[in-house]
């Protein structure tokens, strides 16, 4: 099973921590790093916007991803949350195995 790195941003640290704790507790993610605040500059509804956000860096598997995406959408306050999954092409084999072990209940 391939491992994934999922990126998402939230408007507050509190929301980022709530999402992170939920994903790890439900074994949808092995680990979530929270970075920030960061400044995001983006286009939304035809206008250039900027906001202070918190970046979640989520380690998971392809099997857990559909439920992870659903959980983020449920907990997220944005109308259209950023949820981007990138395949992990290379990594320390023991670390990749750890990601799989920590999301094992979701893979069965």
Average pLDDT of the chain, as a whole number: 95
Report the CATH number that the domain containing residue 68 is assigned in CATH: 3.30.70.120
Tell me, yes or no, whether 98 lies in a domain. Answer: no
Domain that holds residue 41: 3-88
- Helices then strands (H, E): number in the chain? 4, 4
DSSP 71: H
Tell me, yes or no, whether 51 lies in a domain. Answer: yes
Tell me, yes or no, whether 94 lies in a domain. Answer: no
Tell me, yes or no, whether 100 lies in a domain. Answer: no
Q: Is the pLDDT assigned to residue 108 strictly greater than 90?
A: no
Report if pTM > 0.85.
yes
**Percent of the chain, pLDDT > 70?**
95
In the chain, how many domains are there? Answer: 1
Tell me, yes or no, whether 59 lies in a domain. Answer: yes
Torsional class of 55: left (φ above 0), alpha (ψ -120 to 50), beta (otherwise): beta
């Amino acid at each position: 099973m391939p491992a994934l790195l999922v990126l998402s941003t939230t408007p507050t640290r509190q929301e980022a921590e709530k999402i992170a704790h939920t994903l790890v507790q439900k074994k949808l993610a092995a680990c979530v790093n929270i970075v920030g605040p960061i400044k995001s500059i983006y286009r939304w509804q035809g206008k250039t916007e900027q906001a202070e956000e918190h970046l979640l860096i989520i380690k998971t598997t392809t099997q857990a991803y559909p439920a992870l995406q659903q959980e983020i959408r449920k907990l997220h306050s944005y109308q259209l949350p950023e949820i981007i999954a990138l395949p992990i092409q290379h990594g320390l084999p023991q670390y990749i195995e750890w990601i799989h072990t920590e999301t094992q209940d979701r893979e069965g």
